[in-house]
Amino acid sequence: MTKIDLIKQLTNIKNAKRENRERVACFVLENTELIPYLIDIMFASETKIAIKAAWILEIVCEKKIDCITQHLNYFTNHIGNLKHDSAVRPASKICNFIAIEYNSKNDILFKKKLNKNHIDKIIETAFDWMISNHKVATKAYSMNALFLLGKNYDWVHHELKLILQQNISKESAAYKARGKITLDLINKQ
């Protein structure tokens, strides 16, 4: 399979229905040589096809997080460049998947590939998403990723707590709910 095959698949996604995204994600999982192209397309521009690539990478990582292992340098070096909410939300969810896997008792190989530089970039970007004008879903995934990564980096919990305390009264009901849960988890640490 080639990049052109992947572009055709992405182009044929007519809407964001889960079944359409699942179909292309399964195609990529069956042809894992396409993952570098998928990531490249995701970060290449702010076009509809780049957004679709982000949607697909999210599902690919949800199903098989180790698919991104070989591409952590590229992914973490570019996540901060995403601007469109429809691409940022899946990227924040992927960061959350990475943080979950990092804190799990599984997949030692994944943890060996995820280095301090990757974690630092995810933390930096997640904090940027928390203080920027992004939708609640992006902030919720960022909150959770920061909470999980903060288990190994104490300063992260301190900074996250400050941001939540400063912003919680100004945000939506969904943000407030997730923020209160996160504050409770931090306070229990």
Kindly give the interhelix angle for 136-150 and 85-103, rounded to the nearest 10 degrees: 20
- pLDDT for 111 equals 83
The pTM of the full predicted model, rounded to 2 decimals, is 0.95
- Cα–Cα distance for residue pair 82/93, rounded to 1 Å: 13
End-to-end CA distance of the chain: 47
- pLDDT for 107 equals 61
- pLDDT for 1 equals 85
Radius of gyration for the alpha carbons in the chain, expressed in angstroms and rounded: 17
Helix residue ranges per DSSP H, the chain? 3-11, 18-30, 35-44, 48-63, 72-78, 85-103, 108-113, 116-131, 136-150, 154-167, 173-188
Q: Judge whether 10 and 53 are in contact, CB under 8 Å.
A: yes
Amino acid identity of residue 54, one-letter, is A
- pLDDT for 15 equals 87
Q: HSE (CB half, 13 Å, CA atoms) of 91?
A: 32
Q: Judge whether 118 and 76 are in contact, CB under 8 Å.
A: yes
CB-neighbour burial class of residue 176 (10 A; exposed 0-12, middle 13-18, buried 19+): middle
CB-neighbour burial class of residue 116 (10 A; exposed 0-12, middle 13-18, buried 19+): exposed
Give me the residue spans of the domains in the chain: 1-63, 87-189
Q: What is the mean pLDDT of each run of 10 residues along the chain (189 residues)?
A: 94 90 96 97 92 97 94 97 95 97 82 93 98 95 97 94 95 95 93
